[in-house]
Amino acid sequence: MILKNLIGTAAFVALMFTVSAFVYTNKSEKPQQNNPTEANGFAVLELFTSEGCSSCPPADQLMGEIEKLYKDQPVYILAYHVDYWNNLGWKDKFSSVENSQRQQYYSRTLRSQVYTPQLVVNGKKEFVGSDRNNVEDAIENALFNSKNLHIDLSANSSEKEINVNYKTVENNSQNKLLITLVEKKSATNVQKGENEGRHLQHWQIVHQQNQISLKNSSEGTTSFKLPENFNTNDWEVIGMIQNTKTGEILGSAKAIF
């Protein structure tokens, strides 16, 4: 009698384990039904940051982690170092007035404040750039709910300049093609200001950005001045199509050397 009960109990446990394993397997397969590649989605993350801002290093660090985490997906990161912190004790060598002007453009289109670190995703949503949960949620939402307008990009360098060939079928007069020269990684020993004494790491640093009207031509070449100590392994080019009226980014692509 005892043996029968043990056999019955063992059979019941085995059955429950099988059912449990079946349910677990089904749950693990569900995310695969919504593949970002199938949805043709993309995410452009534009971070506005500064070496003179003590709140910015965590956002910079997060961008480096996001770059690794999504390296095989269409996630494009651009870090714009703004110049309005430069008169507060430390001049950011990566900063430019053009970067600050781009942030002001988003302030108008998104009706947002100008602050650092600010992150803008696909030109449509902005929030604090060090908020990991918000960043990851925004990326996943963009990957599954956006449609990427196709851009062909290729880049090559000579002794004096970088040439980028582009081609797209988009010709809406309200849209522009923005082609950006990006340094993948760099670092600075900050000697003054709010981050005095810190060794700061940076990722996806915007150095130059060319804006091209698509009204008359959707194919051509644009050039950048060759940066000092240029190495093809440390740089890349990111292109994106943006509606200048709404700020929404409609497509993006990357070219490596």
Tell me the DSSP string of 66-128: HHHHTTTTTEEEEEEEBSTTGGGT---TT-BHHHHHHHHHHHHHHT----SSEEEETTTEEEE
The torsion angle over the Cα atoms of residues 106, 62, 81 and 145, rounded to 10 degrees, is -30
What pLDDT digit, counting tens, does each position of 92-140 carry? 999 999 999 999 999 999 999 999 999 999 999 999 999 999 999 999 9
37-256 fold: Glutaredoxin (3.40.30)
What pLDDT digit, counting tens, does each position of 21-30 carry? 333 333 333 3
pTM for the whole thing? 0.85
Which residue ranges make up each domain of the chain? Answer: 37-256
**Contact by Cβ (8 Å): 242, 248:** yes
User: pLDDT value at position 108?
Assistant: 97
- Residue 138 has φ and ψ, to the nearest 5°, of -65, -40
Query: Of 181, 167, 169, which Cα lies nearest the Cα of 225?
Result: 181
- In the three-class reduction of DSSP (H, G, I as helix; E, B as strand; rest coil), residue 153 is classed as strand
User: pLDDT value at position 173?
Assistant: 85
Residue 55 has pLDDT above 60, yes or no: yes
Residue 3 has pLDDT above 80, yes or no: no
User: pLDDT value at position 39?
Assistant: 52
Task: Bin 31: left if φ > 0, else alpha if -120 < ψ < 50, else beta.
Answer: alpha
Q: Rounded to whole angstroms, how far apart are CA atoms 256 and 48?
A: 23
User: pLDDT value at position 257?
Assistant: 93
Average pLDDT, integer, range 168-197: 95
What pLDDT digit, counting tens, does each position of 81-93 carry? 999 999 999 999 9
Residue 38 has pLDDT above 60, yes or no: no
